[in-house]
Amino acid sequence: MQVSMSQSKKPYKTYSEDRMESAVNCVKNDDVSIKRAAEMFAINHTTLMNHVKNYKCNAIGRPTMLT
């Protein structure tokens, strides 16, 4: 039994910039908690937390020697 890569990966959800910006502003203005804002704007709470704390996904591992 073979499973192709396209079948095993979950598709990423995309959120509108307006909803994400509104949710981040609510949290930053101390109006609501991250979890509450995520429920209000129908956004995953981990994704919202990453946007509020400005986490960036950096490359993992050693830098490449060749450019």
Taking the C-alpha atoms of residue 61 and residue 67, their distance in angstroms, rounded to an integer, is: 16
Residue identified by tokens 């079948």 is 7
Q: Does domain 15-52 have CATH number 1.10.10?
A: yes
pLDDT of residue 3: 40
Burial bucket for residue 47 (CB in 10 Å: 0-12, 13-18, 19+): middle
pLDDT of residue 62: 79
Nearest alpha carbon to residue 19 among 2, 53, 44? 44
Q: Residue ranges of the domains in the chain?
A: 15-52
pLDDT of residue 35: 95
pLDDT in tens, the chain (67 residues): 344 455 567 777 888 889 999 999 999 998 899 999 999 999 999 999 999 988 766 667 777 787 6
